[in-house]
Structure 1
Amino acid sequence: MAQSREWTYPGLRGQLVARTWSGSQTPTHLVVIAHGYGEHLGRYEAVADALVRNGAGVYAVDHLGHGKSEGERVLVEDFEDIVTDLHTLDEAARKEHPRLPVVLLGHSMGGLIASRYAQRYGDTLAALVLSSPVIGMWGAASALLAMEEIPDVPLDVTTLSRDPAVGERYAADPLVWHGPFKRTTVASMQRAVEAVNQGPGVGGLPLLWIHGEDDQLVPIEGTRSGIEHLRGGRYVERIYPGGRHELFNETNADEVIADVTEFIRTQLGAR
C-alpha cells in the first residue's frame, strides 16, 4: 500500500485538508486528483495506491465545504475559487517535486473543476483525465433550480456502482454529505459549466475521457458536447458498457485504472 500523509493549507475561503500518497521509489510524475460533489479525498485510496504503483506521487484536497476541510457543507459560491485552491495544491506538489510532469484527474464535479483548471492552467499540465465529468449540458441543474424548494431526498446509492457494497459504504460514510443540494452551489455549478462551454479547448494537451454507459447521475449524452468542445488532437475516450457513475468503484475498476495508467504512461512517454 502507498504511504500517505495528511496536511493542511489555507484556501481562499478557509483551511483545507490535503493528502499526499507516495511509494518507496522516487516518483516519475505527479497526479493531482479533484474529487466529486459531496464526497472527499478518502474515497480515492485505492485509486491513489494504483497510481503510486505505476510511478506517481499523488496529491488531493478536500474541496471547500467537503470532507475535513472548513466551510459550510457543500456550499460553493464560485467554482473559480475552487480551481484556484486546487492550483495552490498543484504548486505545493511541484515545490516538493520540481520539474516532474503533472497529470490532473477529475471525477464528476471534480471533472468540471479539472476542465476549468485546464482552461486556466493547461500549459502547466502533462495530461488531463476526466471521469464522468459534469460538463457540456447537465440537465439536473436546471431542473433543481426550477423547483421552489430543492427536496431533501437521499441519493439513490445504486446509481454509483453495480457493486452494492459501494453504495452501502457511501451511505454509512460520515464525511459524505447526505443532505439536499444547496441552491447557491447548483447555480454556481451551472455558471461553471457555462464558463467551460465558453472557454477555450485544451489544444495539444492530452485528454482521456472515461464514462459509464449507464451513468444516471451525469448522463453521457450531456457530457459529450462538453468533451467535443474541449478535446484537441491528443484525445482518447473509454466508454464502459453497463458502467455507472463511479468508475473507480465499479465492478470492472481494475480495467478502468489500467486504462488510466496506460494513458498516462503513453502520454508521458511521448513527451
Structure 2
Amino acid sequence: MAGMEWDFTGARERITAREWPADSPRWVALLAHGYGEHIGRYEYVADTLLRHGAVVYGPDHLGHGKSGGDRVLVHDFEEIVADLHTVEEHARERHPGLPVVLIGHSMGGMIAARYAQHHGDGLAALVLSGPVLGPWGAITALLGVEEIPDDPIDTATLSRDPAVGEAYAADPLVWHGPFKPTTVKAFDRCLSAIAGGGRLGALPTLWVHGEADELVPLRETRIGIEQIRGDDLTEILYPDARHEVFNETNKDEVLADVTTFATRHVGG
C-alpha cells in the first residue's frame, strides 16, 4: 500500500508526511528516515509493520524528500524533533489510546534518540537501526571544512543487494550532493546534546546494526549507545550486514526481530 500523504506547517518549513492506514490497528509505528533519503523508501518496512498490527506514520524530514526547505539543510535538529512530534500527535488524534513505537534509522536513529529524551514517557518502545550516535567520524572530519567535497556515497555500502544501491542512485528524491556546513554543525550539536541529555530509563529499546556497516561504524555507535542506554536495552548485530539493515539481504530476519520486539511491548 502506497500510503496517504498530507502536509503541515513545521517548525521551519512545510512538511510532507505519510500514513499507511490499517483497518483495526493495535499500535502506531512512527518512522524517522535517514540523511538524504525520504520516507517513501520505507514501503517494505511499512508493509511488514502493517501485517503485524500497526498503523504506520512518518514524515519527510525538513529539506528531504517532498518536504520544504533547501535540500538537506538543517539548522537545528530540535526543529526536526518538533516536526516528528507533530506527526505523533496527529497519529494519536486519529488513533486515541494506541501505544506508539518509534523506529529510527541512521540519522533518523539520532533523531529518535533525541526524541526519546524529550518525549520518551509517551512511547511504548524505541527501535534504533544503525543510529548515528557517539563520535561519528564522518561529521568530525567535516567540521571546520570551508568547502566540503562533493564525494558521492558508495552505494555498495548500503546493502549486499545491488538492486538497493541501483534504486538509491536513480531516486530523484534522494540527495546525491555533498553535506552542507550548516548541517554538519547541526549534527555535531545534536550528538553533543544527546550525549549530555540523559539516559533512556525504563523505555524498552532495541538496537539493530550491521556488523559490516562502513557508513555508521558499529564501534562509534556503541559509544553513543553507552551514553544513553537505559534499563531495558536489547542489542542485535547482523554479521556481514551493511548500513541499511531494513534493505539488506536478510531484511526479513531483521524486520521479524523488530516486529517481535515491538508487539511484545504493545501487548500484541
Which bin holds the TM-score, normalised by the shorter protein? over 0.9
Alignment of 1:152-163 (within 5 A): 152-163=150-161
How do 1:117-196 and structure 2 match up within 5 A? 117-196=115-194
Distance in structure 1 (CA, Å) of the matches to 2:202 and 2:247: 30
Q: What residue is the counterpart of 2:7 in the other structure? A: 8
Given that 1:201 and 1:231 are in contact with CA atoms closer than 8 Å, whether structure 2 keeps it comes out as yes
Report the alpha carbon displacement of residue 148 of structure 1 after superposing the two structures with TM: 3.6
Q: Which runs of 4+ in 1 moved over 2 A?
A: none
Flag structure 2 segments of 5+ consecutive residues without an equivalent: none
Give 1:82's match in structure 2, choosing from 69, 80, 83. 80
Q: CA deviation at 1:265?
A: 1.4
The 2-side partners of 1:113 and 1:55 are apart by 24
Matched residue count? 268
30-39 vs 220-229, which deviates more?
220-229
Q: Is this contact kept in 2: 1:3–1:22, CA < 8 A? A: no
Partners of 1:234 and 1:197 in 2: how far apart?
Answer: 18
Aligned to 1:247: 245
Q: Which residue in the other structure is 1:59 paired with?
A: 57
Is 1:112 matched with 2:110? yes
Tell me how far 1:146 sits from its aligned partner: 4.2
CA offsets per residue over residues 195-250 of structure 1, 9 Å max, x none?
A: 00001111000000000001000000000011112222211111000010000100
SS at match of 2:159: coil
**Partner AA of 1:13 in structure 2:** R
Question: Equivalences for 1:178-257 in 2 at 5 Å?
Answer: 178-257=176-255
Percent of matched pairs sharing the same residue: 62
Is the contact made by 2:146 and 2:181 (CA closer than 8 Å) also made in structure 1?
no
Mean CA deviation greater in 88-97 or 141-150: 141-150
Q: Which string of whole-angstrom CA distances, capped at 9 and with x for unpartnered residues, describes residues 25-65 of structure 1?
A: 31000010000000000000000000000000000000010
The one-letter code matched in structure 1 to 2:16 is V
Alignment of 1:21-100 (within 5 A): 21-23=20-22, 25-100=23-98
RMSD: 1.1
Distance 1:170 1:3 in 2: 18
Q: CA deviation at 1:69?
A: 0.4
